[in-house]
Structure 1
Amino acid sequence: MYVSYKWLQDYVDLSGITPDELAEKITKSGIEVEGVATLNEGISGVVVGYVLEKEKHPSADKLNKCQVDLGDGEPVQIICGAPNVDKGQKVAVATVGAVLPGNFKIKKAKLRGEASNGMICSLQELGFESKLVAKEYSEGIYVFPEKTEIGTNALEKLHRDDHVLELGLTPNRADCQSMLGVAYEVAAILGREVKLPQPEVATVSEKAEDYIQVTVEAKEDNPLYVAKVIKNVSIKPSPLWMQARLMAAGIRPHNNVVDITNYILLEYGQPLHAFDYDRLGSKEILVRRATDGEVITTLDDAKRELTSDHLVITNGKEPVALAGVMGGANSEVGSDTTTVLLESAYFAGGPIRKASKDHGLRSEASSRYEKGVDPNRVRPAAERAAQLLAEYAGGEVLTGSVEADSLTVEPAVISIHIDKINRVLGTNLAVSEADDILTRLQFETAADGGEITVTVPTRRGDITIEEDLVEEVGRLYGYDNLETTLPEGSSTPGHLSAYQSKRRVVRQYLEGAGLYQAVTYSLTSEDKVMQYALDVRKPIKLAMPMSEERSMLRLSLIPHLFEVLKYNGARQNDSLSVYETSSVFLSTADNELPEEKEHLAAAITGLWQSHPWQGEKKPVDFFVLKGILEGLFSKLGLLEKIEFAKLEKEGLHPGRTAEILLSGEAIGVIGQVHPKVEKELDLKETYVFELSLEALLEAEVEPLKYEAIPRYPSITRDIALVVDKTTAAGELATIIRQAGGKLLKEVNVFDLYEGDRMEEGKKSIAFSLRYFDPERTLTDDDVVKAHDKVLTAVKDQAGAVLRG
């Protein structure tokens, strides 16, 4: 709900309260104000000017040379390209030195050789949203009414010297979907009076009942229907102040009749509808349920097939409106309308919600009916609209209203004891204090000892039980004023489980390594659901998906990380490293909930290091990501149990992909994204891994042991082994570790050679081996014995020979 600060002042005295202060008070009372917009923020130097002369620009067909009186001296020449600019108009002029939205400053200029001293503005150029500008001014400049004074502040004349509060209403606060409802709320917060409109309608001798009769068949759906008739209306633009208030609330002006119905909707929260009486086709209004297959063409020129679940307004034969949602094109008010039939009705929320959902028509009217309107405002809203139609459309209001009334409204009566209020809120309020708060809300109260009996007005349909009254007292007393207390009694301190603690370690490590955490959708598309899945099972489809792109529960995190990289890459952020810890969903037996498994995945692309001053750039590669993983495994105490084995997996590079094994069991995969996939997604060279986080964090870990720093020197031996090209370095490293015994402490690969001096089908892998004994200094004989065992093992088990 958008609330105009200036409009609100019509009902409540806001003197001494700024818009920001008011927003804070409303928020603290329980309704969040999501923002306060200043309509003329950043705009200055815009005045009302009068176009004295207009002639074609001598060098441009689409430009006009205008002489404009700004009310402060000699006329100025302004070049204007608007198609509707003309002599005799009063227009908004941004003078030289003016500032428009976006910090756009107006300067003296020459356009095709002709001087231009300012700018004649459209409403869009003054900060109005294009979708809210009336159609007649949507493609040109705005023209003020003839009585507007030249030289005055154009923004004030356009009522842009205003602030708009955006209320984030919860469904229970339907009462604040109107200016009057907000006025009651603000008056209660500030302790001030509410000034309600007092419509006084002058009527002619003719009676409405002579023009129309109303019959309601669906009495449960429509217990109250009020019809008024207004003759001799003149269709024209509504007054500027009304248009400004509608636009501030997010509604586009159309004409005076339609604008007045929308204005009442905002003011009273009561939707109205205006029919062209002469196009109605009868003197009867019949409200009934539609028949299956019945068709109506609505105001948006769409043909809609109805069912018996939908409520319609008919002329006795055919539908002329989809009740509470949208009118029909066959009875639309147009430029030639002279007699208006005004509808004000109370509709039940169910049928309105059903029609709105079935036809995809979510309107201002339907949203209010769905949440519930005040039945006691139906008649006053109609009278107020009739008054405005007489005043601003020149209409003659016929005497009386025609009604179909089967509505019985009884206000809720609730009794509550002051002890309960104090017990729940932890306060020590007197009866008079609680009674005063409820009275400020315009609730009728009667106190008897400690008991307060409250008669709740019908506009507050959300107040039905004692706890609702406690909430009202508490929020207006001020949540900030409630005393803070600590719970009493025995308690068990909370703590993280071992799994949760390890998960935090994982996240902290990866973020320390330079990766950003991503949070992506758990839903994916049918095309992506099977991609990169570690555990391939039948995918699970949602019964009611939001869209085809979000119709399946995911089996892998990697496709979603691709979306993150693609989104950032499109915004020139093409060196990125991201990770995610989240669930995948694995199907079980039919009609059973899926099994959720927590996975860890990461994706890196672009440059891993960049030091332009030193001229250093290091792009990401397989070993960067593998190194990050090995650091993580070491952090968790699992590095010795981890192996990497060659793997081919769809969507990953066949020569740069490995399976991750924990104690011989596969828990994940790491590799480069296949070049074809990178091209499809418009990604640079990208590397990913995904593994089962549950398997990783639930693995048994040896107790942490500390070793003294060795006092004795170590001995290093380097060996270069010639093996088949198909032999993996990891396989050789495993053989070396097993053969090296207790003295061998470190094994590292430091070189790979596959040059032209190497035999066909062979390669050379160089290892650095470090031997030491923490208890003594090793001799050459000790090292030679251990080293010979290594050389024998690699020869016997892998066919490796020392490179000469």
Structure 2
Amino acid sequence: MLVSYNWLKDYVNIEDISAEDLAEKITRSGIEVEGVEVLNEGINGVVIGHVLEREQHPNADKLNKCLVDVGESEPVQIICGAKNVDKGQKVAVATVGAVLPGNFKIKRAKLRGEESNGMICSLQELGINSKLVAKDFAEGIFVFPSDVEVGADALEYLNRTDKVLELGLTPNRSDALSMLGVAYEVGAILGREVKWPSTEYAANNEVAEDYISVKVEAEEDNPLYVAKVVKNIKIAPSPLWMQARLMAAGIRPHNNVVDITNYILLEYGQPLHAFDYDRLGSKEILVRRAQKGEKITTLDDTERTLTEDHLVITNGIEPIALAGVMGGANSEVQSDTTTVLLESAYFNGVTIRKASKDHGLRSEASARYEKGIDPARTREAAERAISLMEQYAGGEVVSGSVEANTLTIEPAIVTTTVEKINSVLGTSITSEEVKDIFTRLQFGVAEDNGSFTVTVPTRRGDITIEEDLVEEVARLYGYDNIPTTLPVSAATPGVLTPYQAMRRKVRRYLEGAGLIQNITYSLTSEERAKQFALEDGEAIRLAMPMSEERSTLRLSLVPHLLDALQHNIARSLQANAVYEIGSVFIGKENTTLPEEKERLAGALTGLWEQHPWQGEKKAVDFFVVKGILEGMFRILGVEESISYARLEKDGLHPGRTAEVLLNGKSIGFVGQLHPEILNEIDLPETYVFELDLVSLLTENVGEIQYEAIPRFPSISRDIALVVDRNVPAGELQEIIKSTGGSLLKEVQVFDVYEGDKIDTSKKSVAFALRYYHPEHTLTDEEVTKVHNKVLQAVEEKFAAVLRS
């Protein structure tokens, strides 16, 4: 919500407090002010000028030579390129020495041989967003009404001397989505009265019932509908002050009638809609659910197909508005409109949200209906709008209103006590102070010996229980005034559990290795829920999902990490390595709730290392990812318990995927995405892993054993073993380790060969073996004895032979 500081002065006396101080007080009372924008920051020297003469520039077809009175002793010549500049206009002029946004300084200049002493400005050049500029001035200079004073500060007329507070509202504070709602809040904070705007007007002798009838079929969706009629309207631009306030609040001006409805939307928080009465096609308003397949063309000239979930305003036959969201083009107020039918209604927020979401129409009106409006203002807002239409559109108000009313919403009545408030807050607030706070909030309050019965106005629909009243007292009393206390009993310092400490160690390691943490949605689509899952389980679907893409609880973290890679690559980030620690949800038969388990997953693609100066590049491959995991297993102390086995899994490359085993039990996988999957999701070669984090971090790890630094030299032997192609190198390595005994300290694979020098059904795997004894220097005989045992073991187990 954008709140104009100058506009707020109309309702509550804040002359003695600056916008910045007010923002601080509002924030401390519970509504965060995210910023204060100074609209004229960095701008000066802009005045109102009167164009006395305009003629074609003698040396340029697209330039005009203007003689402009800027309130000085003599008029000045200004060269202007705007198509719409003309004699007799009142315009914004940046005089010589003026400064415009971006520190753009105005100087005397010559343009195609003609002197120019200033600049005639568009609104965009004065720092106003182009989306907020009225269509008439979107591609040219802004023209002021003829009654403005020449030489006066143009920024004051445009309300650019204002400051705008941006409120970061939580969903429960929909009452502050209006200027009056903010005024109530400020009045309560400062202890000052709130002044309501005038709704006075003179009605004629006709009655609205002669013009229109109202019938509501969908009473649950629309319990209150108010219609009023204004004749002899003259469509024109709205007053400059109103346009300026709308632009400060982020709304583009259109014409006086539409601007008044938008102005009331911001002032009262009550959406209104103005129909061209003569274009309705009948004298009837019928509010109903749409028929399946029914169509309406909305104000944005888009034809929309409706369903039975959508609420429409009709003329008895065809839709003329999508209720609470957008009007129809067939009843739009246009330049020739003379009679207006004004709608002010209370719609069900759930119904409006459904239509808004289905059609992708998020409007200021629908946002307020969704969060909840004050039904007590529905009639008052209409009266205020009619008053403004009489004043600024020359309208003649038809007496009375036509209503359909089945509204039953009443103010909430909530009770609390001083004892309850003080026990929750840890304060010693008196009954008088509590009563004063409720009175400042303009709640009805009755006290009986420290017990309060509070009547909560309908504008504060967020207050329904006793704890809500306690919160109101706390924030108005001042959170800073609540005493800081320590627990009475002896307190112990908080520490991480062993599991939390290990999990933090995993995060630090992975981030140190170059992976970036991601936090993704726990919800996915039904089709993707079981992709890459470590274990079978039922996919749990939500009873009321937000969308089909977020309808089912995930069983794996990998799919969303792939989405993250797609997002990054689409933005030309070619090196990507991400990980996530999060929960998956595994449904079991005959159980209502799923089992929640914590997983660790990662996805890597692109370049892993790049050294442009040396011309070195290394792409991510299976062994890079496996190496990252092995480093993590090492710092967790489970390296010796980890092994790998070949794995075939849906969505992964059958020859480049391994199952990760902890003490022989599967805890996850690491591998390359299958080429078919890569083509489907348009990713380059990508590697993923997912591990059962709980099993990994709760593994019983023995105490760290230290060994003395070697005093004696080691002996290395290399062997190349020829075995069948389907023999895993890991199994060979395990046999070598177990046979080598205490003397064999290290076994590493350093080469695999498959080529024309050996049989096509065979492969050669080369190992580097290092032997060492802590007490003496090994002899060749000792090493040969153990080494021969190793060769004999691999020959017996795998029919391995030494490659000659």
The reply on whether 1:706 has 2:686 as its aligned counterpart is no
Contact 2:216 2:404 in 1 (8 A): no
**Shift in Å at residue 260 of structure 1?**
1.2
Q: Deviations over 1:520-542 (max 9, x none)?
A: 23344577666545447776666
Q: 1:351, 1:686 → 2: CA distance?
A: 44
Contact 2:349 2:369 in 1 (8 A): yes
The reply on whether 1:6 has 2:6 as its aligned counterpart is yes
Q: Deviations over 1:36-61 (max 9, x none)?
A: 33333454554444455556677876
Q: TM-score, normalised by structure 2?
A: 0.85
Q: Name whichever of 338-347 and 404-413 sits farther off.
A: 404-413
Q: Which residue is equivalent to 2:718?
A: 719
Assess, with a 3 A threshold, how the Cα gap between structure 1 residues 527 and 95 changes in structure 2: closer, same or farther: farther
Letter in structure 1 aligned against 2:630: E
Assess, with a 3 A threshold, how the Cα gap between structure 1 residues 92 and 642 changes in structure 2: closer, same or farther: same
Q: Name whichever of 430-439 and 1-10 sits farther off.
A: 430-439
The reply on whether 1:193 has 2:185 as its aligned counterpart is no
Mapping of 1:12-23 within 5 angstroms? 12-23=12-23
Q: 2:189, 2:344 → 1: CA distance?
A: 31
The reply on whether 1:67 has 2:66 as its aligned counterpart is yes
**Shift in Å at residue 79 of structure 1?**
4.9
Q: 1:245, 1:670 → 2: CA distance?
A: 59
SS at 2:144's partner residue?
Answer: coil
Q: Which residue is equivalent to 2:24?
A: 24
Q: 2:404, 2:680 → 1: CA distance?
A: 64
Q: Name whichever of 548-557 and 500-509 sits farther off.
A: 548-557
Assess, with a 3 A threshold, how the Cα gap between structure 1 residues 6 and 349 changes in structure 2: closer, same or farther: same
Q: 2:117, 2:722 → 1: CA distance?
A: 84
Contact 1:208 1:228 in 2 (8 A): no
Q: 2:492, 2:174 → 1: CA distance?
A: 42
Q: Deviations over 1:118-141 (max 9, x none)?
A: 655443444433443323233433
Q: Which residue is equivalent to 2:567?
A: 567
Q: Which residue is equivalent to 1:484?
A: 484
Q: Which residue is equivalent to 1:78?
A: 79
Assess, with a 3 A threshold, how the Cα gap between structure 1 residues 711 and 180 changes in structure 2: closer, same or farther: closer
Q: Which residue is equivalent to 1:386?
A: 386
Contact 2:754 2:760 in 1 (8 A): no
**Shift in Å at residue 13 of structure 1?**
1.9
Assess, with a 3 A threshold, how the Cα gap between structure 1 residues 674 and 389 changes in structure 2: closer, same or farther: same
Q: Which residue is equivalent to 2:262?
A: 262
SS at 1:243's partner residue?
Answer: helix
Q: Which residue is equivalent to 1:502?
A: 502
Q: 1:501, 1:798 → 2: CA distance?
A: 43
**Shift in Å at residue 287 of structure 1?**
5.6
The reply on whether 1:38 has 2:2 as its aligned counterpart is no
Contact 1:295 1:303 in 2 (8 A): no
Identity across aligned pairs (percent)?
A: 64
Q: Which residue is equivalent to 1:179?
A: 179
SS at 1:604's partner residue?
Answer: strand
Assess, with a 3 A threshold, how the Cα gap between structure 1 residues 600 and 99 changes in structure 2: closer, same or farther: farther
Q: 1:538, 1:458 → 2: CA distance?
A: 45
Q: 2:591, 2:565 → 1: CA distance?
A: 36
SS at 2:470's partner residue?
Answer: helix
Mapping of 1:220-619 within 5 angstroms? 226-280=226-280, 289=288, 297=296, 299-300=298-299, 324-345=324-345, 363-369=363-369, 371-399=371-399, 401=401, 411=411, 416-488=416-488, 498-524=498-524, 532-535=532-535, 546=546, 549-550=549-550, 553-586=553-586, 588-589=588-589, 593-610=593-610, 618-619=618-619
Assess, with a 3 A threshold, how the Cα gap between structure 1 residues 785 and 400 changes in structure 2: closer, same or farther: closer
Assess, with a 3 A threshold, how the Cα gap between structure 1 residues 530 and 42 changes in structure 2: closer, same or farther: farther
Assess, with a 3 A threshold, how the Cα gap between structure 1 residues 404 and 773 changes in structure 2: closer, same or farther: closer
Q: Which residue is equivalent to 2:774?
A: 774
SS at 1:706's partner residue?
Answer: coil
Letter in structure 2 aligned against 1:660: V
Q: Deviations over 1:445-478 (max 9, x none)?
A: 4545434454444443444554433322221101
Assess, with a 3 A threshold, how the Cα gap between structure 1 residues 461 and 699 changes in structure 2: closer, same or farther: closer
Contact 2:209 2:402 in 1 (8 A): no
Q: Which residue is equivalent to 1:141?
A: 141
Q: 1:767, 1:309 → 2: CA distance?
A: 70
Q: 1:619, 1:347 → 2: CA distance?
A: 58
The reply on whether 1:743 has 2:743 as its aligned counterpart is yes
Q: Which residue is equivalent to 1:638?
A: 638
Q: 1:112, 1:213 → 2: CA distance?
A: 62
Letter in structure 2 aligned against 1:75: V
Q: Deviations over 1:577-631 (max 9, x none)?
A: 3222233455544896555443322233444445556666555443332222222
Q: Deviations over 1:463-511 (max 9, x none)?
A: 4554433322221101121112334458898765554443333222222
Letter in structure 2 aligned against 1:163: K
**Shift in Å at residue 112 of structure 1?**
8.2
Q: Name whichever of 574-583 and 401-410 sits farther off.
A: 401-410
Contact 1:296 1:320 in 2 (8 A): no
Uncovered stretches (5+) of structure 1, i.e. residues with no partner: none
**Shift in Å at residue 86 of structure 1?**
3.7
Contact 1:719 1:802 in 2 (8 A): no
Assess, with a 3 A threshold, how the Cα gap between structure 1 residues 366 and 711 changes in structure 2: closer, same or farther: closer
Assess, with a 3 A threshold, how the Cα gap between structure 1 residues 109 and 577 changes in structure 2: closer, same or farther: farther
SS at 1:36's partner residue?
Answer: strand
Q: Name whichever of 323-332 and 261-270 sits farther off.
A: 323-332
Q: Deviations over 1:679-710 (max 9, x none)?
A: 77665654433333344334444x22424405
Contact 2:51 2:69 in 1 (8 A): no
Q: How many residues are paired up?
A: 799
Uncovered stretches (5+) of structure 2, i.e. residues with no partner: none
Q: 1:126, 1:193 → 2: CA distance?
A: 36
Q: 2:564, 2:403 → 1: CA distance?
A: 59
**Shift in Å at residue 163 of structure 1?**
2.3
SS at 1:661's partner residue?
Answer: strand
Q: TM-score, normalised by structure 1?
A: 0.85
**Shift in Å at residue 328 of structure 1?**
4.8
Q: 2:310, 2:611 → 1: CA distance?
A: 68
Q: 2:134, 2:356 → 1: CA distance?
A: 26
Contact 2:52 2:69 in 1 (8 A): no
Q: 1:524, 1:293 → 2: CA distance?
A: 29
CA RMSD, 1 decimal: 4.2
Contact 2:625 2:687 in 1 (8 A): yes
Q: Deviations over 1:695-743 (max 9, x none)?
A: 4334444x22424405641421222324258355433322221221122
Q: 1:305, 1:763 → 2: CA distance?
A: 66
Q: Deviations over 1:270-294 (max 9, x none)?
A: 3333343444556x55565458569
Q: 1:715, 1:79 → 2: CA distance?
A: 88
Q: 1:452, 1:136 → 2: CA distance?
A: 56
Q: 1:85, 1:238 → 2: CA distance?
A: 21
**Shift in Å at residue 571 of structure 1?**
4.1
